[in-house]
């Protein structure tokens, strides 16, 4: 894996029914992955849902593997939700905060990474500092978890995938996190933004949930470290990317109009700023 700071493959998931043992798989939507066909071709990925007692904090556990026989691969992603992940591997382990721009994840040789995807805002229950301090960063696991020194990590990684997940569960339970109503409300807001077409502005979200724009600003800052406007912009641009992937000859002006842009040029500028390529360049670079 290469990059600076080194990123970790992330896959948004739609959880199935969580179990007490946490051993069932889940299905996923590649909403934040810009080339899902290429990812599926090169990377083996599976997830394990959170057990019931930690479901307020953990979205799922995940394992990725890649093999040198398939050759090197670069995966391009834009975070669709403000997630925090912790990850363990033989080469590097850490806490990955929310990255606001496009990330490129490189895989060469063969390897395995095991990680934990926290629900939006849930890492606030583990992290003593400002959530904004994790933005666009990978920090050492020992910043939060004293057990994650070199000796402790080596012992955990000596297990198979399920053994690593079981050990991580023990450590996370030992941290005794405490959830509150604000965490649940933030997740309800994020879910509504993703599914309700009318929620395109901060004021519309505030009206729908009976909250002031000031409350939304402070809640997102304290629990997520990013703003609601960031989430709304990602929603529009990832919808555009999904539409582009499904079309052989995209209607560029129509896509811009459908997403509420006042001009096609404004759409192109935003798309390039966040996704690192113009819509036309993105379409040409897709794996078919």
- The closest alpha carbon to 2, from 104, 86, 71, belongs to 104
Q: Are residues 170 and 185 in the same domain?
A: no
Q: Are residues 73 and 170 in the same domain?
A: yes
Which of 144, 174, 204 terminates a domain? The answer is 174
Q: Classify residue 4: in a domain, yes or no.
A: no
Q: Are residues 185 and 156 in the same domain?
A: no
Instruction: Give whole-number Cα distances, 136 to 4, 73, 206, 210, in Å.
Output: 11, 22, 27, 31
CB 119 within 8 A of CB 57: yes
Beta-bridged to residue 78, according to DSSP, are 102
pLDDT of 199-235, one tens digit each? 989 999 999 999 999 999 999 999 999 899 888 888 8
DSSP character at residue 287: -
Q: What average pLDDT score do residues 41-53 get?
A: 88
The domain of 167 spans 13-174
Helix/strand number for the chain, H first, E second: 10, 10
Q: Are residues 47 and 190 in the same domain?
A: no
- Residue 12 pLDDT exceeds 80: no
pLDDT of 246-270, one tens digit each? 888 888 988 888 888 888 898 898 8
Q: Are residues 22 and 159 in the same domain?
A: yes
Provide the pairing of β-strand 102-107 with 27-28.
unpaired
- Highest-confidence range of 158-162, 197-201, 269-273, by mean pLDDT? 158-162
Which of 174, 206, 224 terminates a domain? The answer is 174
């Amino acid at each position: 894996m290469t990059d600076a700071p080194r990123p970790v493959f992330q896959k948004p998931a739609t959880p199935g029914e969580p179990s007490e043992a946490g051993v069932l798989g889940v299905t996923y939507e590649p909403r934040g992955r810009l080339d899902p066909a290429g990812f599926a071709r090169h990377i083996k990925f599976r997830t394990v849902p959170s057990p019931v007692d930690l479901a307020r904090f953990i979205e799922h556990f995940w394992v990725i593997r890649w093999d040198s026989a398939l050759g090197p691969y670069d995966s391009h992603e834009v975070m669709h939700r403000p997630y925090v992940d912790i990850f363990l591997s033989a080469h590097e382990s850490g806490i990955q905060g929310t990255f606001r721009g496009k990330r490129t994840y490189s895989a060469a040789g063969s390897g395995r990474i095991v990680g934990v995807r926290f629900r939006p805002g849930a890492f606030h229950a583990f992290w003593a500092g400002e959530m904004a301090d994790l933005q666009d960063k990978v920090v050492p696991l020992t910043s939060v978890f004293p057990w994650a020194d070199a000796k402790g990590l080596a012992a955990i990684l000596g297990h198979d995938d399920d053994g690593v997940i079981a050990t991580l569960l023990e450590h996370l339970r030992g941290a005794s996190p405490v959830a509150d109503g604000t965490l649940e409300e933030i997740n309800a807001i994020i879910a509504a933004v993703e599914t309700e077409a009318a929620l395109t502005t901060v004021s519309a979200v505030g009206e729908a949930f009976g909250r002031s724009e000031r409350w939304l600003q402070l809640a997102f800052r304290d629990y997520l470290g990013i703003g609601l406007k960031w989430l709304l912009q990602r929603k529009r641009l990832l919808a555009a990317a999904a539409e582009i992937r499904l079309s052989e000859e995209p209607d560029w002006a129509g896509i811009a109009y459908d997403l509420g842009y006042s001009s096609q040029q404004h759409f192109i500028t935003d798309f390039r700023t966040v996704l690192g390529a113009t819509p036309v360049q993105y379409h040409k670079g897709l794996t078919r």
